[in-house]
Amino acid sequence: MAEKDSQLMEKIVALCKRRGFVFPSSEIYGGFAAVYDLGPYGVELANALKREWWKYMVQMREDIVGLDSAIFMHPKIWEASGHVGGFSDPLAECKACHTRVRADHLLEEIGVVADEKMSETEINALFDEHRQNIVCPKCGKKDFGTVKKFNLLVQSNLGNFTGDTSVEPVYLRGETCQGIYVNYKNVLDSTRVRVPFGIAQVGKAFRNEITARQFIFRTREFEQMEMQYFTHPDNEMTEYEKLRAYRWQFYLDLGMKEENLRWHKHENLVFYAKEAYDIEYQFPFGFKELEGIHARGDYDLTQHSKFSGVALEYLDPQTNEKYVPHIIESSVGVGRMLLAFLTEAYVEEAMENGEMRTVLKLPKKLAPVKIAVFPLMKNKPELVAKAQEVFQALKSEWLCEFDDNGNVGKRYRRQDEIGTPYCVTVDFDTIGAGDPSPDGAEAGDAPLTGTVTVRDRDTMQQERVPIVELKQYFQEKL
């Protein structure tokens, strides 16, 4: 990876737009701040990441089950969780140009450690202490007002048909895990799981982020992959260590270099938390949080029990012990993971002819397109027909792309940039002499005769493979 490339972020953003991974939302209307759309290859990559996560967190685990809870929930849930009262960011507004910036980010930029969890008084004291050094990123003046806490929950008018402002607002969920907590009892009562067990969920969440920065790293609408694990209080920390190791291994198994990952331990814990670590990834803008792994104690179930009036204790069927399970969680955003894997995969390298190529060296199981099929030339109908036959034969097994645009070199460049592991080219040798088919059939008559070249994305080596063996060849490779 080009760690020292100061342009890397711009290059990734440009590639995402150029090749259809990520588009700014509502672009023809001038854009919509802090929201992004996934393009044709972005959605494939995101789906592959979610598939791998689900495989790791549900399929491979007998003690974890899945869930898909709704985005809208009873408003009391957000009171119980503490989001209505305390889910806020410190907001500072420049008096000169009215730019709003997160006060903790402003402090961070001048090397002062701040925390979004600080109270309004605490952060104002710290802000005042350094006020003379805090510069507005927009206009350059040093004239910020008082820091105010700004709630991140996004309100809606769901079910409120009269515009009555006295009705308790309904929120778009600020995190997916609340849907897990409130279904804990349903899952226990309807499945065979027993403590310790986990519930995993992938879904959208919404936060009124003040400043969304760094592309898809922080967005107002985003998708989370969360797993909440319910344990006996005595085992919370043992299970926590196991979960940390398991999640770390996830990234290594998907080919991330360990040097690009590190642990960050939270120093300022919320009052109920036992321990909190983040897995940080070395993004183009430095090491930042990729995934949070936290030991939350019995806070979540206790709060929901208190606010709902429903007992959420667990009765151990063996020991008859009754207790409120403690929760450890793993939480990661799809967009953030996507950006991390794009960063990891992005390579610029010189080819033998001296030209540079950009290639996404994504693990094969993450690559949006697995195989691209080309006719060597577009204006030779017999090549195009044969290439179509090959394409039709492969597409039921893998996501394939047929491409007859431009010359082969241009097509390779395109497939390299979207990370396609293999390109199959149908050329004159495929349809002409040297046809290895035993019955000597005419070109085009029998679809499974002839050979094609298969080019490997990473080595750029080409080899000839008989069409009859192509499926088996890719079954072994992919």
Footprint of Zn ion (CB under 5 A): 94, 96-97, 99, 136, 138-139
User: Smallest Cα–Cα separation from 10: which of 359, 335, 346, 349?
Assistant: 346
Residue 118: CB minimum distance to Zn ion, A: 23
Helix, strand, coil % over all residues of the chain, rounded to 5: 35, 25, 40
Residue 139: CB minimum distance to Zn ion, A: 3
Q: Which is nearer to Zn ion, 95 or 257 (CB)?
A: 95
Across the beta sheet with 88-93, the strand order is: 100-102, 88-93, 148-151
What is the spatial distance between Cα 228 and Cα 170, in angstroms, rounded to a whole number?
24
Q: Which is nearer to Zn ion, 139 or 167 (CB)?
A: 139
State how far the alpha carbon of 81 is from the alpha carbons of 176, 195, 319, in Å: 12, 22, 30
Q: Which is nearer to Zn ion, 55 or 138 (CB)?
A: 138
Residue 138: CB minimum distance to Zn ion, A: 5
Q: Which is nearer to Zn ion, 99 or 437 (CB)?
A: 99
In the three-class reduction of DSSP (H, G, I as helix; E, B as strand; rest coil), residue 197 is classed as strand
Q: Which is nearer to Zn ion, 94 or 293 (CB)?
A: 94
What is the spatial distance between Cα 280 and Cα 262, in angstroms, rounded to a whole number?
5
Q: What are the E-state strand segments in 261-325? A: 261-265, 275-283, 286-295, 314-315, 322-323
Could you count the other beta carbons within 10 Å of the beta carbon of residue 463?
11
**Beta-sheet pairing, 221-231 with 326-333:** antiparallel
Residue 102: CB minimum distance to Zn ion, A: 14
Residue 128: CB minimum distance to Zn ion, A: 18
User: Smallest Cα–Cα separation from 270: which of 133, 155, 115?
Assistant: 115
Cis-peptide, bond into residue 196, ω within 30° of zero: yes
Show Cβ contacts of residue 150 under 8 Å, excluding neighbours closer than 6 positions.
Answer: 88, 89, 90, 91, 208, 210
Provide the Cα torsion 182, 175, 53, 221; round to 10°: 140
Residue 34: CB minimum distance to Zn ion, A: 19
Q: Which is nearer to Zn ion, 142 or 257 (CB)?
A: 142
Q: Which is nearer to Zn ion, 143 or 382 (CB)?
A: 143
Q: Which is nearer to Zn ion, 139 or 252 (CB)?
A: 139
Residue 211: CB minimum distance to Zn ion, A: 13
Residue 165: CB minimum distance to Zn ion, A: 33
State how far the alpha carbon of 288 is from the alpha carbons of 60, 337, 340, in Å: 28, 11, 10
Q: Which is nearer to Zn ion, 92 or 199 (CB)?
A: 92
Q: Which is nearer to Zn ion, 139 or 310 (CB)?
A: 139
Residue 114: CB minimum distance to Zn ion, A: 19
Residue 155: CB minimum distance to Zn ion, A: 28
DSSP β-bridge partners for residue 282: 287
Residue 10: CB minimum distance to Zn ion, A: 24
User: Smallest Cα–Cα separation from 287: which of 256, 266, 262?
Assistant: 262
Specify the residue for token string 């993971």.
Answer: 337
Phi, psi of 463 (to 5 degrees): -140, 155
Q: Which is nearer to Zn ion, 95 or 410 (CB)?
A: 95
What is the spatial distance between Cα 36 and Cα 20, in angstroms, rounded to a whole number?
12
